[in-house]
Chain A
């Protein structure tokens, strides 16, 4: 059994120094905080662009109980209270498109009651679905997402929000988004809100819900792609090099006592002590994001360990 590198070491190794310094200098952050990663919801490569010149004050950081990673192996069962309207820090600009509070809750709650579907890319961490897990910051919105406005939708008041900055001209509406949910649709608004607040998991769930009803919905499709990219990169940054060899760190008896689902069990069964993360992603047959999420969860629970490849 080979122990993997210390989690903080991994973070140091694979995240940008600037980001590290920013994070570690934050006064509220304990060095041993196991949920340190939860404070990073943007992609490392994009942090220069998205982080404000001065870090956001600790008061607007995600709440300490927002432990999305540790609940990786449960299906999405959003806590009713946590699925409420987007809470914003007093300093945040109001969103351009505001959703009725109930609409943003509706989709994730409904979908989470379903039986897990193998191969689904849907994020399932309860914590990750909380809209308030990361404070909204104007700079974070610089992550590009071209969102469309439905012609008939009530025009939102122009606000200095990145979403608004990325909006195409009203007459440049994409034809594919014409039928079904539109930009004024509460679900679309909820999707945008979640994306805007950095809740990519939540935005992804809503986007998938929209796409289930209308597979050609262009905005939802783009949002899904973007969220998948961002979330994948987040997990990649946390796992480190894909060339690392994955090993099972617990005995068979210990593993049986864990609370894993069959997908995690399947990924565990693929680990032969010689395969790299990349290999496991290739052979898992799962969507990459899901496999990354599960692997990170297993690492977080110290079920697996990583070591440098040959």
Chain B
């Protein structure tokens, strides 16, 4: 049976999981962490950095470090979210050739799916290192509010990374899957997800036999753990300014250290009542001396600094309940997702609002990836005990007179599906109608996503309301939406087929896939060479350490001189192989050096 990994592709952190037997395993990366920052950077030397290493240089190399690419994926260039990101991002966002978004790093421009593919590729490598075999298939999670284009862009990112994304599932659904795994639940739950960069609250109905239905979902894509960190940074900076008259924000190195320290302090204060922030040599004064920053921070102060942020999440929860037309008492459990939910003040606020203690049975950082891996395993198993049905993430409809949105296919409708509605003309003697196909939940058409448009002409001249036009929406099992408008009187019809697009052409995706594969080959080759080189250098160091002893012991004998000459020759050959970056030669020399070292050690032991 083919292995399917589950990936939580987060705004700030990503996580990969796999089901081993019936046990979901979260796979640690090479650094031993279970989550990997969704950060990509290119260094001055053109080297690509992904994950923790990229995050650690995010401020000192801000222009060439991409974070929160998820906020941009699948978005149109002129969307408000993109405009917002342009204002707030340190990296350069430019318009792509298909009204899409591109990001400039050093001298190259990348599409957003390409950036996300780098994170997905990293998650794939983490899984492959753990499993010891190639991984091809994955289930990737996305926020419940993602539209078809954003989902398609995420799929494209997976394809570029060399992954066949067999299913995209909603993050709250994945969390609910992990929460309900192995239980036969039938209840309404709230999934409160406060991550590093975004906040989402979803109300779900978990039905018998594995039916998970998102009743409402809302959130704030610019509210998360980073905002809490920013409050601590502000507090530290203003304190330092008062004490020394120096603005630490003006120095990138200082700011990078402040950010790291703030995040660390915030995490510590979830389990301890106070902590100390100690940053020696934070800034030089210009008088040949460097100043230290040392300040204690307690939990109460942090809570005071960030109380409004917590309150904002509660306001959004209130909205989610209103959207779901449910009262607080109808929520039977609250699942906490995201690292920020470890903060005691957040847990207290959630408990206060929902009037019940939140469920802590699932790991907030891992639950979404675990849900994805559970779904992945279920999809490839012959006996499918639990299946998530493909549903439309958003309502589909058309624009009607007065810029109203008329819904034809409601949100969360199981696909394939088909719905028909009849409309009439809105003006006297109207001979043509423009059909704008939209996706979204807003009653206003302009607040929803435009998927496509077409014009039906040749209508009979008549008073308004007399010509009837039948509009049919159809979604097939591949998720392709077809819309047809038909003049009921003449039978004349026009139609459009809407396919979700990430903003990339198939050729572009193919080229990006090839580049990603080349990168992986190069990376694997480099890793192999570095491994051999390290081994060789260790052996050389050991051999050279023993040279004097060997010379003393056997240097006077002919065979001893011969052995020493051979050893020196082996060392030189190895250095030459390292210099020429020839992995095979280095590996061969490692064997020779190993034999030499064993011989030397034997001489030393005997001598």
Contact = CB atoms under 8 A, between A and B. Distances in A.
Interface stretch (B303-311, B321-329, B539-547): B539-547
Contact of A13 (B257, B541, B568): B541
Interface in A235-251: 240-241, 243
A256 B534 contact: no
A91 to B, nearest CB: 32
Interface string B380-423: 00000000000000000000000000000000000000000000
A285 B251 contact: no
B292 interface: yes
Is chain A's interface secondary structure helix, strand, loop, or mixed overall? Answer: helix
Interface stretch (A150-158, A161-169, A260-268): A260-268
A96 B363 CA distance: 72
B290 A266 contact: no
Interface in B274-294: 278-284, 286, 288, 290, 292
B280 A5 contact: no
Given A5-B541, A282-B43, A309-B534, A269 B251 contact: no
A116 interface: yes
A79 interface: no
A274 B31 contact: yes
A285 B60 contact: yes
Contacts of B533: 241, 243
Contacts of B252: 118, 285
A241 B537 contact: yes
Interface in B229-263: 251-254, 256-257, 260
Contacts of B571: 17
Contact of A269 (B257, B286, B288): B257
B56 A270 contact: yes
A282 B53 contact: yes
B47 interface: yes
Contacts of A255: 280
B61 interface: yes
A261 B31 CA distance: 29
Contact of B57 (A9, A241, A284): A284
Interface residues of B, number: 42
A252 B49 contact: no
Contact of A282 (B47, B288, B534, B538): B47
Contacts of B186: none
A116 B288 CA distance: 9
Nearest to A114: B286
Contacts of A282: 43, 45, 47, 49, 53, 57
Contacts of B283: 262
B530 interface: yes
A37 B286 CA distance: 30
A116 B257 CA distance: 19
A233 interface: no
Given A282-B49, A284-B57, A261 B286 contact: no
Contact of B53 (A256, A279, A286, A288): A279
B30 to A, nearest CB: 9
Nearest to A116: B284
A139 interface: no
A308 interface: yes
A118 B44 CA distance: 16
A115 B257 CA distance: 21
A75 interface: yes
Given A13-B544, A282-B49, A266 B257 contact: yes
A116 B541 CA distance: 38
A265 B541 contact: no
Contact of A264 (B49, B281, B292, B545): B281
B260 A252 contact: no
Interface string B41-65: 0011101010001001101110000
Interface in B350-366: none
A308 B53 contact: no
A116 B534 contact: no
A309 B30 CA distance: 13
Given A252-B278, A261-B284, A308-B534, A285 B253 contact: yes
Given A282-B45, A283-B60, A288-B45, 5 more contacts: A252-B280, A260-B290, A262-B290, A264-B281, A265-B281
Interface of A: 5, 9, 12-13, 17, 45, 74-75, 115-116, 118, 240-241, 243, 252, 255-256, 260-266, 268-270, 274, 279, 282-288, 308-309
Of all A-B residue pairs in the complex, the 10 with the closest CB atoms, nearest first, are A265-B281, A285-B60, A283-B57, A266-B253, A13-B541, A115-B286, A262-B284, A283-B56, A243-B534, A241-B537
